[in-house]
Amino acid sequence: MTVSTLVLAIGLVLIFEGLVFALAPHRIEDLLRMISAMPVETRRLIGFLALTFGAVLISLARLI
């Protein structure tokens, strides 16, 4: 992986994260309340699934 690819990936993450904050700031408060009400194990599972899905997407992107 090159540095430019890493910078591109970080930039894309920041764009999508920024869009959520810019377009739906009140919804974030609701989501934080929902997440804080979840058991730790459920949050950990969601994080693991997101990590796995992200890795699969990266692998697929490298094949294309």
Q: What is the pLDDT of residue 1?
A: 67
pLDDT tens per residue, range 4-44? 888 988 999 999 999 988 998 899 999 999 999 999 999 99
Total structural domains within the chain? 1
Q: What is the pLDDT of residue 36?
A: 95
- At 38, is the secondary structure helix, strand, or coil? coil
Q: How far is CA 16 from the centre of its chain?
A: 9
Q: Which domain holds residue 32?
A: 3-63
E-strand spans in 1-64? none
- pTM beyond 0.75: the answer is no
